[in-house]
Amino acid sequence: MTHVQNLLVLSVWLAAGIIWMSGQTYCNDHIESLLYSKKNPSLILPNVPYRLTPSGWSGVLDLLTCATRSRIEFRESQGFLYNSASGLCSPLLWLEGPNSPGALPVRPSEGALYLARGWCEGDQFQILELNTGELVCLRLFNTDPVDFFTARAVCESLDSYLVSVKTMPKLELIRSLANGNSLHIGFDDLVTPGVFFWHSDGELVTAQQSAEIFDENEPNNHRGLESCGSYKGERGTLNDLTCDYILGYICERDVLRPEG
């Protein structure tokens, strides 16, 4: 295995479950394998890496050590920069949009860029940027409208969920994607009528969210019939509807790949 392979498979099989690096001992509690792809920095523009350490670690002996240490010391790390000549290793928090204050272009002295296997690559998902610099991973389905349950099932089959829209910047992005059309959105009150929760994390829809991004006095499960989430295209706000409405929808994946 060389440092110049485009596809780098880094396997860590440790009988004793212990790694020794830079004078420290690391428990190998859940890491069995790491898969990274070498990336050309120009291909990820305008998104750029966000560093998890100010200057990285120096004197890291090899690529495998850099990858393993990045993943163990920073569980949220989804990539790293490695300079094989100097031994500089810089763990990365996936990618950030260019407006993020912590996002910096890769410098040649930092070496090659490696990113975890693209969780948002494939299945026609794409990384999009909110006006805050935050990145989201979405796929729009607007040519084959379905009911709410079918939309939710399709998203789940793609290791994703119906999109959550908890903030105004996220709502503005949905408006731009919807192009005036209504869409299914990932919240409902099907478990407990009148208690709406987000599919992405199970959190309840808050009063602040209701006031800022929903239509007036919504969601309200009108007459006990409106249990499923939607984006109201003509008004550009969120609403609850009956679940049998036939609409387009957006699936969302977490930008950071889930562990395990």
CATH of the domain at 223: 3.10.100.10
Same structural domain, 38 and 146:
no
Same structural domain, 110 and 134:
no
In a domain, 109, yes or no: yes
Domain boundary among 116, 150, 168: 116
Same structural domain, 135 and 229:
yes
In a domain, 240, yes or no: yes
Residue count of the chain: 260
In a domain, 20, yes or no: yes
Same structural domain, 27 and 55:
yes
- Flag whether pLDDT at 226 surpasses 50: yes
- Flag whether pLDDT at 56 surpasses 60: yes
What is the tens place of the pLDDT at every residue in 30-41? 333 445 667 777
Same structural domain, 19 and 44:
yes
Same structural domain, 131 and 107:
no
In a domain, 259, yes or no: no
From residue 18, alpha-carbon distances to 15, 35, 57, 65, 68 in Å are 8, 20, 20, 13, 12
Domain that holds residue 196: 126-253
The pLDDT-based confidence of 5 (bands split at 50, 70, 90) is very low
Angstrom distance (rounded) from CA 211 to CA 205: 11
pLDDT of residue 36: 67
What is the tens place of the pLDDT at every residue in 71-106? 788 877 778 888 989 999 998 877 777 777 777 777
Same structural domain, 99 and 218:
no
Q: Is the dihedral of CA 118, 161, 134, 203 positive or negative?
A: negative
Structure-block tokens of residue 15 = 């009988």
In a domain, 97, yes or no: yes
Domain boundary among 98, 116, 134: 116
In a domain, 218, yes or no: yes
Domain boundary among 116, 147, 167: 116
Same structural domain, 100 and 130:
no
Same structural domain, 56 and 159:
no
In a domain, 260, yes or no: no
- Flag whether pLDDT at 259 surpasses 90: no
Same structural domain, 70 and 188:
no
If DSSP codes are grouped into helix, strand and coil, which group holds residue 240?
Answer: strand
Same structural domain, 64 and 157:
no
Same structural domain, 104 and 15:
yes
If one counts the domains in the chain, the total is 2
**Any residues with CB less than 8 A from the CB of 222 and at least 6 apart, and which?**
240
The pLDDT-based confidence of 188 (bands split at 50, 70, 90) is very high
